[in-house]
A and B are shown apart, each in its own frame.
Chain A
Amino acid sequence: MAAAAAALRGRRFKWSLDLGAAPGARPRGAAESRGPLGFAERQLGEGGVHESDKILMEKRCWDVALAPLKQIPMNLFIMYMAGNTISIFPAMMVCMMGWRPLQALMSLSATLKALESSSRRALQALVFLVGNGLGLALALYKCQAMGLLPTRPSDWLAFVTPPQRMEFTGGGLIL
């Protein structure tokens, strides 16, 4: 029971130091001159930490910019595996492949904001755009390969109107 109470106490006051037991306790004012545990008088140097952070940021931005490009080999593999038949799974995959770059392009401003901190912002934005564009192109190519794009005359056949008749003829066996 006592141990439980101690544990409870310990939990509640995690970092309080029980100095009361020490003989010759200092007056309260003296405590201010002493910093807390791990307190350093000297100011921390700016350079080292800031440098590595920036590199990290840059790396992070490059990651964002290169993500669409990295997707492409994976997409290619999926495309190869899915085949050109029109059935529900390949169709869903193609949809996803097309939709993701589109989504990314639509939320372009948000991505650009994330890239704001980077120094090579323009290049990263370009890479991001190119990557998404490539993804989209790949999806379109897949659509084309699957025959989903109305690019052939047969796709417009239903809209071909019958030609107008220039001559009129009739007759038959003599009655």
Chain B
Amino acid sequence: MAAGPRTPLPLLGPLLLVLLPLAAAVYEDQVGKFDWRQQYVGKLKFASLEASQGSKKLVVATEENVVAALNSRSGEILWRHVDKGSPEGAVDAMLIHGQDAITVSSAGRILRSWETNIGGLNWETSLDTGSFQGAALVGLPEAVKYVAVLKKAALSLHYLSNGHQKWVEHLPESESTQYELLYSRGTGVIHVVGIVPQSHLNVLTFNVEDGEITRQVRVAAPWLGELQGSCAVVGEAVLVCVDAAERSLHLCALDTEQDMRHIPLQSMELEFADDFQARILATQPSVTSASRTQFFLQLSPSHFSLLQYKQGLLSHLRDFQQKPGSSDGLHAGSTLEDAWRQDSLICSNQTYNINLYLVETGQRLLDTTITFSLEQGGAKPQQLYIQVFLKKDDSVGYRALVQTEDHMLMFLQQPGKVVWSREESLAEVVSLEMVDLPLTGAQAELEGEFGKKADGLLGMFLKRLSSQLILLQAWTAHLWKMFYDARKPRSQIKNEINIDNLARDEFNLQKMMVMVTASGKLFGIESSSGTILWKQYLRNVRPGSSFKLMVQRTTAHFPHPPQCTLLVKDKETKMSFLYVFNPIFGKRSQVAPPVLKRPILQTLLLPIMDQDYAKVLLLIDDEYKVTPFPATKNVLRQLEEIAHSIYFYLVDAEQGKLSGFRLKKDLSTEEIWEVAIPTEVQRIVAVKGKRSNEHVHSQGRVMGDRSVLYKSLNPNLLAVVTESTDTHHERTFIGIYLMDGVTGRIIHSSVQKKAKGPVHMVHSENWVVYQYWNTKARRNEFTVLELYEGTEQYNATAFSSLDRPILPQVLQQSYIFPSAISAMEATITERGITSRHLLIGLPSGAILSLPKALLDPRRPEIPTEQSREENLIPYSPDVQIHAERFINYNQTIFRMRGIYTAPSGLESTCLVVAYGLDIFQTRVCPSKQFDVLKDDYDYVLISSVLFGLVFATMITKRLAQVKLLNRAWR
């Protein structure tokens, strides 16, 4: 039958569908409703506390290449500048002068001056190349005017006011001499000390005005191996070096002397620790005057001794030594106030004291002790910064900034009050999982009802009644609370979330975020507010370890507590251990994890459970033996039964080898396949399987002619990305291999010529999306691969990788993307009905929510009737970035490293956490909120209309009755 005249509707259909997701942005009044952001600066490298009592800020430069100012009253970030994440952005030195902070960054290439009040850049100059050795402010007797930068072969002087270079001087004999020390004390000269190890010191004296070398001395020091640490300048430019082997000090006045004087320390009865390189710590209160004559000599990690060198005489003022039995070290800090010198942390039982001592005499000042205690975690203080000031009554007051091993910052006030603390380890989140919150008692009661079966009709009925009664009780309590709260002003109502009132909300939108940070500290963060509910520091984690976090038991198995397992593997020793904990309360679990004697290569979380509903974790060691955890009899029996169907694959990026193993009944393994990717040509950069918790609702796609194109949903599929070792832009390429993890069969492979990494990839359902840099066209490109079985399913009931005679059809399309990306992830929902979006983290800090429908290899170049029927958008090569699609509006996330998505209880909603230097949490609804009423739903209008209609019905009914009666009478 011939088709009738077409309406324009089918043409409009796809267009409308394209336009729909554009309106995905949040409304102004929704800002901060579901989302929050936390900003961090990272571990401190340099910090400066202002000397005056009324000062409100502290300026910091961190390992994360951040220069920032923190509010010293609240700990908030006043301003923050984030440099490149690579070593290029590293801050090498920070000097504070008045309101200006001078930083040297990018390995001594860039000198910057910041205005510390508002964080503006005063000036920036680039310096000559050459490895950076040191920087110092240079003062004339009246004012500080210059900053000197010492490089391997040159010394340059810059004006503080505008950064212009005053002069640059070449250093003599710079090939053999390492110039490391820079010193000036407002006398119009700059001393530079260089060392030729085990031979001599070179002391150069420069004139500040014209850079002329006024004096050049060679001081013999055959015993000295390094300058940094073992030498310092005290008093009127006297260089002091310590010789631990001879237990003596060597002194040399930089202005006048040509030789070092040798002062033995035996008479002072100082004990040098054998395996510790003794250090000298000196301070200079102001660059326009001489250093202090007093200095610290650090003899062992926990032993400092305060010495004085005055008028040619060395005297011993005080010993600071840790009490035996406590293991923590002393920390010497410096001071800014003239007459005071502070110090010393003494520890006992996680309680630390800070005492203030007078530097001239070594006497302790009364009432200056700050006592603070750290949490049970056992992190030791690592760095201490002190701010000393004179109070109004002329007594001494001070504040202290303490940084602990787990990168926590604490700002302390006398007498031990923690003004604020910051968890800076959250700037380096490495792994993240979201765990459902536990049910409340009432909910658990109701759930338990469905769990049991045999109870008899009457028993079940009674149980139902009792649980309903409990629910009623909870509801009335809730109503009462609402009523009670309604009377209070809105500002006073705070829904404080703490660990005791944690409960799942009705849509499971609130979850517990378990975060693992690079420092080895674990956090439990409540997802709706970002409150840190628990933290746990693992002491025995070394920096640079790799982590793998797994959820073995969710909260669904009441009364068994949920259980998370963290595998920590040390990069150097290759040894690993398991840490088992309860993700809701952060407590270490009672379950004893197996002791791992061999290095663990990989883990595998099986869907089978033991009798306590904990999923079985298989740990594969370097002998390819498998250790199950938990290892109960029940588990072993189950494992024996299903061992034939368990496979695992290991990817060795260094050797370019992929290998697959099969589990045998005795828990040993057998290698069944191996694929070699020659490392000379290309190296493996990423391997991605599918997420185990992913549900795919639809098994196929409906075509325009209403037949079905079945998706090839191979759960064992791996996507392997390689990059060429040759990085020349003409010859560079990336390769993508789709492999079956069970059989090792390569299902699809393609090589993208003239393409370069870094490659970001998402592998989900039946598609793989990856992004790379096209060196020929100089642009970023996306490629999408989709796998289909065709119009017939080979086996609709069971999927076995061993029985797949037909290779899937692979469709591919590429798109131009206008920006580089820093992270990419796909949304995930409970049942997989909602359409998928890709969440793309841009280097600008925004997160773009891009509908997957835009990256669909079936997009036709010439739209046909059938493609229109299918709602396929005609192909256009460029994917645009629309600002309305940013899910984080202006809440940018610096240096995004990953995006984590988790399903919520609502099918429409997906929870998103983006982490990098900052942490951002929000919800996204890729297909809009089709299962809940909107926020701005007009309840009043609807209910008034409803009541109005009911009322109108009642009135008209009455009227109709009267009319009928009247008619009957007629």
Contacts and interface: CB of A to CB of B under 8 A. Distances in A.
Contacts of B607: 168
Interface stretch (A3-11, A41-49, A75-83, A129-137): A75-83
Contacts of A166: 645, 798-802
> Taking each of B9, B605, B684, B715, which has the highest tally of chain A beta carbons within 10 Å of its own beta carbon?
B715
B649 A152 contact: no
A173 B6 contact: no
A175 B548 contact: yes
Contacts of A160: 699-700, 796
B647 A79 contact: no
Given A160-B796, A166-B799, A167-B647, A153 B707 contact: yes
A96 to B, nearest CB: 17
Given A85-B9, A154-B703, A162-B713, A174 B602 contact: yes
Interface residues of B, number: 61
Contact of A164 (B698, B708, B799): B799
B2 A172 contact: no
A157 B707 CA distance: 10
Interface in A142-175: 145, 147, 152-155, 157-158, 160-175
B606 interface: yes
A135 B221 CA distance: 114
A161 B796 CA distance: 8
A83 B799 contact: no
B702 interface: yes
B602 A169 contact: no
Interface string A87-105: 1001000000000000000
Contacts of A153: 707-708
Given A84-B1, A154-B706, A174 B715 contact: no
Given A147-B706, A157-B700, A170-B689, A80 B647 contact: no
Nearest to B695: A162
Interface stretch (B87-95, B350-358, B583-591, B650-658): B650-658
Given A169-B649, A172-B687, A175-B600, A85 B702 contact: no
B700 A163 contact: no
A84 B10 CA distance: 12
Contact of A83 (B4, B601, B684, B715): B4
B576 interface: yes
Given A154-B707, A166-B799, A173-B653, A85 B4 contact: yes
B847 interface: no
A168 to B, nearest CB: 5
Contacts of A164: 797-799
A164 B600 CA distance: 30
Contacts of A171: 602, 604, 620, 648-651, 689, 741
Given A157-B708, A158-B698, A175 B567 contact: yes
Interface in B735-792: 741-742
Contact of B707 (A152, A165, A169, A173): A152
Contacts of B802: 166-167
Given A79-B1, A158-B698, A173-B653, A163 B741 contact: no
Contacts of A90: 4
B812 interface: no
A146 to B, nearest CB: 10
A167 B742 contact: yes
A67 B287 CA distance: 114
Contacts of A83: 3-6
Interface string B789-831: 0000101111111100000000000000000000000000000
A84 B795 CA distance: 35
Interface string B375-399: 0000000000000000000000000
Given A163-B795, A172-B687, A173-B653, A152 B706 contact: yes
Contact of B601 (A79, A80, A161, A174): A174
B600 A169 contact: no
B569 interface: yes
Contacts of B174: none
A1 to B, nearest CB: 34
A136 B713 CA distance: 42
B3 A84 contact: yes
Given A85-B4, A175-B567, A167 B708 contact: no
A163 to B, nearest CB: 4
Interface string A14-37: 000000000000000000000000
Contacts of B713: 162-163
Contacts of B715: 165, 169
B550 to A, nearest CB: 11
B797 to A, nearest CB: 6
B62 interface: no
A170 B607 CA distance: 11
A175 B707 contact: no
Contact of B716 (A85, A154, A169): A169
A85 to B, nearest CB: 6
Contact of A173 (B4, B687, B801): B687
A173 B719 CA distance: 12
Given A82-B4, A174-B601, A162 B687 contact: no
Contacts of A174: 601-602, 650-653
A142 to B, nearest CB: 8
B707 A87 contact: no
B726 to A, nearest CB: 22
A171 B602 CA distance: 6
B646 interface: yes
B796 A163 contact: yes
Nearest to B688: A172
A161 B698 CA distance: 8
Contacts of B620: 171
Contacts of A147: 706
A147 B706 CA distance: 9
Interface string B344-375: 00000000000000000000000000000000
Nearest to B700: A157
Given A84-B1, A171-B604, A157 B699 contact: yes
B556 interface: no
Interface string B41-74: 0000000000000000000000000000000000
A41 to B, nearest CB: 53
Contacts of B703: 154
Contacts of A154: 700, 702-703, 706-708
Contact of A175 (B576, B648, B687, B795): B576
B649 A175 contact: no
Contacts of A87: 7, 9
A158 B700 CA distance: 9
B679 to A, nearest CB: 14
Nearest to B618: A170
Contacts of A141: 1
Interface in B242-288: none
B412 to A, nearest CB: 39
Contacts of B2: 80
> Taking each of A80, A147, A165, A167, which has the highest tally of chain B beta carbons within 10 Å of its own beta carbon?
A167
Contacts of B799: 163-166
Contact of A162 (B606, B689, B699): B699
B696 interface: yes
Nearest to B644: A167
Top 9 closest A-B pairs, CB basis?
A: A83-B4, A166-B800, A170-B604, A169-B741, A154-B702, A171-B648, A171-B649, A163-B799, A169-B647
23 contacts: A81-B4, A141-B1, A152-B706, A152-B707, A157-B699, A160-B699, A162-B699, A162-B713, A163-B798, A167-B645, A167-B716, A167-B802, A168-B606, A169-B716, A169-B801, A170-B605, A170-B689, A171-B602, A171-B648, A171-B651, A172-B651, A175-B569, A175-B601
Given A83-B6, A175-B576, 16 more contacts: A79-B1, A85-B6, A152-B706, A154-B700, A166-B799, A167-B645, A167-B647, A169-B689, A169-B716, A170-B602, A170-B741, A173-B684, A173-B687, A174-B653, A175-B546, A175-B569
